[in-house]
């Protein structure tokens, strides 16, 4: 169904409800709807088939049903009392003002998780990052006690060694809040659990993105040192092994003797 005649802006929830019957199945877990012209075979591969195929089986099997909606633009809702409600973005066919541009959103429709992405003015690499970030957050919502324990243990080792840095901005901010407010930073506390979850999301995003694509890790004063980052990625590889035929580290590409 074409949405070219769609003029009035709808919230992402209203939009998902309106076009729920237009979703095209991709697998038992994923379906999609493109709110513009039909996607070419190459675009379908780049935006949907390839990033989904690169997901570790242990993650894919634990995910709920996911609908992906691709739209031209997303407009961030105006804040009320300084707060922007989650999932309050508007789907727009026209580019919003620069200060209201948003790139991704998420809503729940009954038992279905709906991920909405704006494609205009966003390159494929940026889209992949945001796609995997939402998948990582969904995984964190469902991580097992075993995964939570193993990842938290690794973080406690880093904190005990005063390891500086993190993987992304949100985990860096969460880590600084933990270090600045608590003397016993390795203790099982709400701030530690919040930091562990955000660190897991940021690190898993990098891991998933790296399975799908050849990416470079940005260097800088806030970046986790390489040997500690590698240790985290090795843990995630053990917990969430990549699909057959995919590599995480250069040594994974070596031919067997």
DSSP 107-174: EEETTEEEEEEE-TT--HHHHHHHHHHHHHHHHHHT--HHHHHHHHHHHHHHHHTT---BSSHHHHHH
> Can you give the pLDDT of all 257 residues of the chain as single tens digits?
445 445 468 889 999 999 999 999 999 999 999 987 678 899 999 999 999 999 999 999 999 999 999 999 999 876 544 545 555 799 998 899 988 999 999 999 888 999 999 999 889 999 999 999 999 999 999 999 999 999 999 999 999 999 999 999 999 999 999 998 767 888 889 999 999 999 999 999 999 999 999 887 777 789 999 999 999 999 999 999 999 999 998 888 765 54
Domain segments of the chain: what residues?
Answer: 10-136, 145-251
Beta bridge partners of 91: 10, 74
What's the predicted TM-score (pTM) here?
0.90
**Tell me, what's the pLDDT at 168?**
95
**Tell me, what's the pLDDT at 214?**
84
Residues 107, 116 contacting (CB under 8 angstroms) = yes
**Tell me, what's the pLDDT at 81?**
47
CA–chain centroid gap for 136, Å, is: 5
Q: How far is CA 254 from CA 182, 221, 227, 234, 249, in A?
A: 45, 33, 21, 17, 10
Q: Is 194 helix (H, G, I), strand (E, B) or coil?
A: helix
For the packed helices 190-212 and 169-181, what is the interaxial angle rounded to 10 degrees?
Answer: 160
**Tell me, what's the pLDDT at 244?**
94
Q: Is 38 helix (H, G, I), strand (E, B) or coil?
A: coil
Q: Which helix (H) or strand (E) element contains residue 90?
A: strand 90-92
**Tell me, what's the pLDDT at 88?**
74
- 20-26 contact pairs (CB < 8 A, 24+): 20/67, 20/109, 20/112, 23/67, 26/52
220: left (phi over 0), alpha (psi -120 to 50) or beta: left
**Tell me, what's the pLDDT at 2?**
47
pLDDT in tens, 136-181: 999 999 999 999 999 999 999 999 999 999 999 999 999 999 998 7
């Amino acid at each position: 169904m074409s949405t070219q005649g769609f003029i009035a802006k709808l919230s992402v929830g209203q939009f998902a409800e309106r076009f729920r019957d237009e979703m095209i199945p991709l697998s038992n877990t994923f379906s999609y709807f493109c709110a513009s012209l039909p996607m070419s075979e190459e675009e379908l591969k780049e935006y949907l088939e390839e990033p989904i195929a690169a997901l570790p089986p242990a993650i894919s099997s634990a995910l709920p049903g996911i609908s992906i909606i691709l739209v031209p633009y997303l407009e961030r809702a105006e804040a009320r009392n300084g707060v922007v409600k989650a999932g309050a973005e508007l789907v727009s066919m026209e580019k919003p003002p620069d200060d209201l541009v948003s790139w991704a959103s998420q809503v729940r429709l009954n038992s279905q998780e709906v991920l909405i992405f704006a494609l205009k003015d966003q390159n494929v690499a940026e889209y992949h990052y945001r796609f995997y970030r939402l998948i990582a957050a969904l995984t964190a919502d469902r991580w097992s006690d075993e995964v939570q324990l193993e990842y938290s243990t690794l973080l406690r080792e880093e904190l005990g060694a005063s390891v500086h840095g993190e993987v992304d901005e949100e985990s860096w901010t969460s880590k600084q809040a933990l270090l600045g407010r608590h003397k016993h930073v390795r203790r099982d506390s709400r701030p530690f659990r919040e930091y562990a979850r955000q660190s897991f999301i940021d690190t898993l995003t990098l891991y998933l993105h790296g399975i799908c694509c050849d990416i470079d890790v940005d260097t800088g004063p806030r970046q986790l040192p390489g040997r500690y980052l590698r240790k985290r990625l090795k843990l995630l590889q053990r917990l969430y092994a990549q699909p057959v035929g995919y590599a995480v580290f250069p040594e994974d590409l070596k031919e067997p003797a």
